[in-house]
Chain A
Amino acid sequence: MDFFPLYLSAKLAVITTSVLILISAPLAYFLVYVKCPGKFLFEALINLPIALPPTVIGLYLLYIMGPKGYVGTIWGEVFGGTLLFTFTGIVIATAVYSLPFAVQPIKATFEKMDHRLRENAYVLGLSPVATFFRVMIPNSINGIAAAAILVFLHSMGAFGVILMVGGSISGETRVASIAIYEAVETMNYREAWLLSLAFVPISYFFLLLVNRLTRS
């Protein structure tokens, strides 16, 4: 029984969550507070992964991150090597795929926040950046935690997009969801069941936590 895919899934989920929370809080701030023409187009683009099948996202990413794609070319020139079929590649792919799940809860928290807190901070002399860190982030902890948990779970369960961009390389991109699929394909049901069972308590616990955080 190989539990390494579970470890790889958890590692992928932790890294993706950390990266996305850092990116999503400023993005959510931009979507809520910055006035700019065409912002709705940008927001729709961020939310596109919700509407697109994971394999479709995977196909586009495969092209963009490939040796002839923009991202793949720049990556090759700066860091050397390729993004496809690597752990870094599936982190980027999962981050794109999970981005709306990070942005939306934080955006909702910012929208719910009393706008006078921000105004009060401005009148008290704080710059918008200082206000973001000293007022908005501390008062959005629940929303940020809810976003982090959703992204963590979404990344743990990602399948199609990872398969397209990372394939199934043992120890590198063969995460739990792919290992389960392959175990079923090869009729190794015991391994499939054991890996699947590990997901249930983790997911259930984290969903309870999201419920509690969003209620408070």
Chain B
Amino acid sequence: MGLSAVLRKKTEYFSIDVDFFCPEGKTLVLIGPSGAGKTTIIRMLAGLEKPDEGRIVLKEKILFDSNRGICLSPQKRELGYVFQDFTLFPHLTIHGNAAFAAKDKSEVDYLVNYFGLSRLRDRKPHQVSGGEKQRCAICQALARRPSLLLLDEPFSALDVVTRRGLRAELKKIKEERALSVVFVTHDIHEALFIADSILPIVDGEIDRDWLEQIASPVSPLGVQPRATREPKLALVY
């Protein structure tokens, strides 16, 4: 059960070649420098880009298999996807956006309340802040009750305080629903807070050294994981 993916794709600058597994109900963080291929990987999982070869299986459902010629469209994958920048539909209100693809309207009301958007429900996206937009985008994705949530640097455009609040809200609802999450970031602190396992990606490939380098206290980029967070960290290869 969970998500397993083997992905190979040639891009303009490098080849993506990754193989990973995300257990059900867990959060896998793809971390790496900008331009490392993280977004391309998450887009391949969503069906927005096609791998040259590989296999994606979610809860025993084959989403992509190059050997068997299977490639489900994004519509049939039934995933939640939150884009990096705010991609709400400008013509709809906050509630309209949250309910856009909802299967159950009471679910939308619950999520809108949970993410503190009730008082903004009749506003258009351009009338709310970045954090509120991203909360709404998460509501929109969760309202479909997906078994896997893909988040592509969802907090990168937000200030630190908003980001912390959203991370905590996301973590809580993820645990509440036993949701599998693939989370893309280039922020090690964010990764350590949210991850059950971390997959470091550099130039399209898994690069253990890169993560050890940036997590090292002697590294010029050094970020020392807090002791309380360290036990959560487990690398997956």
Q: Do A and B come from one complex?
A: yes
Residues on A lying within 8 angstroms of B by beta carbon are 114, 116-117, 119-127, 135, 138-139
Can you list 6 contacts pairing A with B, beta carbon distance less than 8 Å? A123-B77, A124-B140, A125-B144, A135-B89, A138-B91, A139-B90
The CA-CA distance from A214 to B15 in the complex, in Å, is 42
Determine whether the beta carbon of B75 is less than 8 Å from that of A125.
yes
Question: Contact: B48 with A117, CB < 8 Å?
Answer: no
Given known contacts A117-B89, A135-B89, what 15 new A-B pairs fall within 8 Å (CB)?
A119-B48, A120-B87, A122-B73, A122-B74, A123-B46, A123-B48, A123-B75, A123-B77, A123-B80, A123-B81, A124-B140, A126-B75, A127-B75, A139-B89, A139-B90
Chain A: interface secondary structure?
Answer: helix
Interface membership of chain B positions 23-54, coded 1 if the CB is closer than 8 angstroms to chain A and 0 otherwise: 00000000000000000000000111000000
A-B contact count (CB 8 A): 47
What chain B residues lie within 8 Å of A123 (beta carbons)? Answer: 46-48, 74-75, 77, 79-81
Q: State the CA gap A121–B81 with chains docked (Å).
A: 10
Contacts A117-B89, A138-B91, A139-B90: A122 and B48 contacting too (C-beta < 8 A)? yes
Q: Is the interface of B mostly helix, strand, loop or mixed?
A: loop
In the complex, which residue of chain B has the Cβ closest to the Cβ of A116? B87
Q: State the Cβ distance, A139 to closest chain B Cβ, in Å.
A: 6
Q: Could you say which residues of chain A place their CB within 8 Å of the CB of B140? A: 124
Across-interface contacts of A126 in B (CB, < 8 A): 75, 101
Q: CB < 8 Å: which of A114, A116, A119 contacts B74?
A: A119
A residues less than 8 Å from B75 (CB atoms): 122-123, 125-127
- Min CB–CB distance A128 → chain B (angstroms): 9
Of A121, A125, A135, which one neighbours B78 at CB under 8 angstroms? A125
